[in-house]
Amino acid sequence: MGQGGMHKPRPVRGYFAIGVEGISKPMNLGNLMRSAHAFGASFIFTVDAHYSVRKSRSDTSKSVYHLPYYPWDSVDDMQMPRDCRLVGVELTDDAVELPSFRHPSRAAYVLGRERGSLSGEMLARCEFVVRIPTAFCINVATAGAIVMYDRVRALGGFPDRPVRAGGPKPE
């Protein structure tokens, strides 16, 4: 158990990062950073962030003191670790539905701006594109938390869900 009776994410092989292209609202970045810290991300990043986000972040867990933050100016400036697979999160027709996606062991997930989508340049850099099965766009920080939860759920070594309602039987 973690601090205050909370469960820490189970350790998984590999690592992941999460970031946003073109984010403009400090509260959204702060929320995403806090979630990244809670889910065990290795680093967080922004690409072409609005100036207001760079000068003022809202993050109550102070995640920038616990994991690296990379504020890249452009897609060309992005420098991912070797063998890190870039995964775009976007509502495109050819995107893989998140519940069907096998997460790479070394991945960086990138989400689109609040009022738009990932740029064509960013999509071209992505090895995979996934979509959250929703009827319409959701808040960028919420989308990031869903992707991170799905990764931890899929790779965290949890037992399979039971056929009947409820949790697994204690051994």
Residue 163 within a domain: no
Integer Cα distance of 114 and 98 in angstroms:
20
- Domain holding 105, by residue range, is 13-155
Question: Total structural domains in the chain?
Answer: 1
Q: What is the dihedral of CA 48, 45, 35, 85, to 10 degrees?
A: 110
pLDDT tens sequence across 84-125: 999 999 999 999 999 999 999 999 999 998 888 999 999 999
Judge whether 66 and 43 are in contact, CB under 8 Å: no
The average pLDDT across 57-81 equals: 83
Judge whether 68 and 44 are in contact, CB under 8 Å: yes
Q: Which residue do the tokens 């899929």 mark?
A: 154
CATH of the domain at 138: 3.40.1280.10
Residue 119 within a domain: yes
CB-based contacts of 87, cutoff 8 Å, min separation 6 = 103, 104, 107, 108, 109, 110, 126, 127, 128, 129, 130
